[in-house]
Amino acid sequence: MARVCDICGKKTSTGNNVSHSHKKTKRVFKPNIQKAKVEINGTIKTINICTSCLKANKVKKVV
């Protein structure tokens, strides 16, 4: 599964691990992506959505 939110487009970003001696190595920041059944334009679809979009009620989740 691609780590991209279908609502906001949030995806994996890169940065640095910084040690005590300030030596830097590459690392990745992965968004918290969940599969959820949501209602979009009256149809029920399963999409990949980040938890920040779920918490902000950007879609209507179907139970």
Domain ranges of the chain: 13-61
pLDDT band at 2 (very low <50, low <70, confident <90, very high): confident
- Whether residue 29 is predicted with pLDDT greater than 90 in this model: the reply is yes
**Is 47 within 8 Å of 6 (Cβ atoms)?**
yes
- For residue 17, what are the contacts with CB-CB under 8 A and spacing of at least 6? 24, 25, 26, 27
Arithmetic mean of pLDDT, 8-36: 97
pTM of the predicted structure, to 2 decimals: 0.81
- Whether residue 19 is predicted with pLDDT greater than 90 in this model: the reply is yes
Give me the CATH code for the 13-61 domain, please: 2.30.170
Q: Which of 39, 13, 42, 45 is nearest to 26 (CA)?
A: 13
Sort 49 into a burial class: Cβ within 10 Å, 0-12 / 13-18 / 19+: buried
